[in-house]
Amino acid sequence: MPHFDIVRNNEVKNKSFRVAQLYDQFDIHSDSYQEHFVGDISLPEKWNVGIIVGKSGTGKTTIARELFGDSMNTFEYTHDSVIDDFPNKSNAKDIFDILSSVGFSCPPSWLKPYSVLSNGEKMRVDLARAICENKELTVFDEYTSVVDRDIAKVGSCAVQKAVRRSGKKFIAVSCHYDIIEWLEPDWVFCTDDMTFKDTRGLLRRPQINVSIYEQRGMWKLFRKYHYLSNEINKAARQYVAYIGDKPVAFCAVLYFPHPQIHNCYRVTRLVVLPDYQGIGIGKRMMSFLGEKYAGEGKVLDITTSLKGFAKSLMRDSRYVLIHAGRLQSVNGIKSLNNTSSRNRNTYSFRYRSA
């Protein structure tokens, strides 16, 4: 689609009393007006993420609908649980994996209807559905227009990672320029001056600075997002991760009496707020604590049911897989039958200091 030339005519056919007053007050004489948008979008041969950006009224949506109308985001949500809005052909396991891959790893929220999710969560659910329905291209109009700007940036980072992993194509249509570096698009079309730029490999998101503190009393902010239980052992050491002054993740660590290993500790709760998932905060927090405990002569383990998080740890040489599945033994270490993990597929890892 190298060139577009769009003419849109608008005509006032019925003059109401209010319209007549507007004509008089602002000295308007014509009953029609025309919008004309001309430009070139020379899409590169290989790309995954693009953005159409510009000020309000510069033709973003008109151009997107003209060129990519069949791919515009138009999903309907009618069920009490958002997972039931996914295609019937998709099994539950695939849906869980895809939701986690787009940075929405919060099983309790999967049970909610779409209407009560945050705007950031809705954006990720829409993307997950696009991937699940095998749409080659998804176009999001008004992308991140109604979310907090910090969440918009973090969400954009998570979205582009998920799109690239899936091999799909994604176009954001937005009036916000602050997300461009975070989205790291392969191309940018600006409707302010109708210019197209091939930016593949040229943009890098700003660094995300995370501060981690040992802090009690913050579990109440995170507990509803944990997939196992709202309870927490009072003896656990509690840690909170912050981006700026915003708490975004929580971790609880408890001594675990291991029959073979001295000074063994286990992560019993690791929660990242939904709007900040998908950008590696949970793993960064886990690695920070792993190094901290190793420096104190302690061993740190973690067990998770989230396949996406487990895959991330498997790709890191600092983590050793010590158990996978329900009762399967890995490296001679068996799961405990009397734990709450016995009825779930789990992955257990031990942090190994570099």
Q: Which two tokens stand for residue 108?
A: 């309790």
Strand ranges inside 292-342, DSSP E = 299-304, 319-325
Residue from 302, 300, 248 nearest 278 by CA: 248
Report yes or no on 26 lying in a domain.
Answer: no
- What pLDDT does 296 receive? 94
**Both 182 and 45 in a single domain?**
yes
Same domain, 234 and 344: yes
- Model's pTM, two decimal places? 0.78
Residue-wise DSSP of 223-275: GGG-SS-S---TTSEEEEEEETTEEEEEEEEEE---SS-TTEEEEEEEEE-GG
The percentage of residues in the chain with a pLDDT greater than 70, rounded to a whole number, is 93
Residue 295 belongs to a domain = yes
Residues 238 and 146 in one domain: no
CB-based contact 127:162 (threshold 8 Å): yes
191 and 224 in a single domain? The answer is: no
Same-domain pairing of 295 and 323: yes
pLDDT digits (tens, 9 = 90+) for 99-149: 888 878 888 889 999 999 988 788 889 888 888 887 889 898 888 877 788
pLDDT digits (tens, 9 = 90+) for 184-227: 999 999 999 999 999 998 999 899 899 999 999 999 999 888 87
Q: What is the pLDDT of residue 328?
A: 46
Is residue 328, in this structure, part of any structural domain at all?
yes
The reply to whether 250 falls in a domain is yes
Residues 49 and 164 in one domain: yes
Give the chain's mean pLDDT: 86
Q: What does the pLDDT read at residue 327?
A: 46
What integer pLDDT is reported at residue 339 of this predicted model? 41
Do residue 128 and residue 154 come from a single domain?
yes
- Distance from C-alpha of 293 to C-alpha of 273, rounded to nearest angstrom: 24
Please answer whether residues 308 and 105 qualify as being in contact, where contact means their C-beta atoms are separated by less than 8 angstroms.
Answer: yes
Check whether residue 117 and residue 180 sit in a common domain: yes
Q: Are β-strands 49-53 and 187-190 bridged in parallel, bridged antiparallel, or unpaired? A: parallel
**Domain residue limits at 224:** 211-351
Of the residues 141, 168, 198, the one at which a domain ends: 198
Cα of first residue to Cα of last residue in the chain, in angstroms, is 50
User: Is 305 a member of any domain?
Assistant: yes
pLDDT of residue 73: 76
How far is residue 258's CA from residue 198's CA, in Å, rounded to a whole number?
55
As a whole number of Å, the CA-based R_g of the chain is 25
61 and 147 both lie in a single domain: yes
Please tell me the predicted confidence (pLDDT) of residue 329: 43
User: What average pLDDT does this structure show over 309-316?
Assistant: 89
Residue 168 CA to residue 187 CA, distance in Å, equals 15
pLDDT category, 278, cuts 50, 70, 90?
confident
In this prediction, residue 229 carries a pLDDT of: 66
Report how many domains make up the chain. 2
Are the CB atoms for 214 and 289 separated by under 8 Å? no
Q: Which two tokens stand for residue 344?
A: 């779930």
- Claim to verify: residue 156 and residue 261 sit in the same structural domain: no
Looking up residue 271, the CATH number of its domain turns out to be: 3.40.630.30
Task: Indicate whether 14 belongs to any domain.
Answer: no
As a whole number of angstroms, the distance between CA 312 and CA 277 comes to 13
Per-residue model confidence as pLDDT tens digits over 238-258:
999 999 999 999 999 999 988
Q: Are strands 264-272 and 32-39 parallel, antiparallel or unpaired?
A: unpaired
The answer to whether residue 341 scores a pLDDT higher than 60 is no
- Letter for the amino acid at 153? K
